[in-house]
Amino acid sequence: MHKSFSKFLTLALLFALFMSCGSKQETETTDQTPVEPQVVYTSDLNILTDGEKDEGWILLFDGESFDGWRGLGREGIPEGHWTIEDGAIKKVPSKDVPLQEDGQPLEGGDLITIQTFEDFELSLEWKISPAGNSGIKYNVSEEMSYSYPPPNAALGFEYQMLDDDGHPDAPVSDSHTAASLYDLIAPEEKNLKPVGEFNTVRIVFRKNHGEHWLNGVKVLEYDLGIPPMDELIAASKYKNIPDFAKKWKGHIVLQDHTDAVWFRNIKIRIIEP
């Protein structure tokens, strides 16, 4: 056989073998069923981590029911005013509250914890509707609240929740803006998230000392029973309520204040003396 032809034949056989292997590999790859990546859906809403349990945190809202809550001055929840939506307690805006047979809206009112607390650290998340106004209150005596109008509205220290850019109360006073101790102390170094996004709250209330935190930053602190605080109370809307600044074993309160607001991840840690 001619050497040139023999060399050509060898190359042809090698090429055919290469193509055969490639086709087999391609066929095997094509025939394999694609492996879909596993998607794991997790949620950290309205639960306690093992670490939080070890630290003594108590979950105040399970994300599904009003267990542990009732209306101020009521045994149940004010009908038509509060609902649970996407794992959050929602205050139904007043314009959407159902009407009674006489055409008047169903009677509303603040939502309070059945349990009372004296020294504690409270944590929760909230978001407000455009131009919305609400708050979370603490150190609330239900008996004292019922001694002053309006009915079904709590009297206590209020962590203000507000659309600072859209609500007309914000320009009135810095002590009326989000994260303030309402009508008493304005917040500092505030990082408020836009309307529609959840903010994180931390309230520390131990003995006569209180702190407000917003999104991981302490924005104010105060002490009861000292002249500067007494002067602030004397100049506020609470000046004619003698026991307003008294330390109570009180309720935690979600305010019914006309506008839509959402609360979730509500948890508390009792601070022992």
> Can you tell me the mean pLDDT for 2-20?
47
Phi, psi of 234 (to 5 degrees): -65, -25
pLDDT reported for residue 20: 47
Q: What tens digit of pLDDT does each residue of 114-158 get?
A: 999 999 999 999 999 999 999 999 999 999 999 999 989 999 999
The CATH architecture that domain 50-270 belongs to is Sandwich (2.60)
Q: How many CB atoms lie within 10 A of CB 209?
A: 12
Q: What tens digit of pLDDT does each residue of 173-222 get?
A: 999 999 999 999 999 989 999 999 999 999 999 999 999 999 999 999 99
> Can you tell me the mean pLDDT for 63-82?
96
Mean pLDDT (the chain, rounded): 88
Q: How much is the pTM?
A: 0.83
CA distances from 76 to 1, 70, 110 (A): 104, 5, 11
Q: Where are the chain's structural domains?
A: 50-270
Q: Is the pLDDT of residue 39 over 70?
A: no
pLDDT reported for residue 44: 83
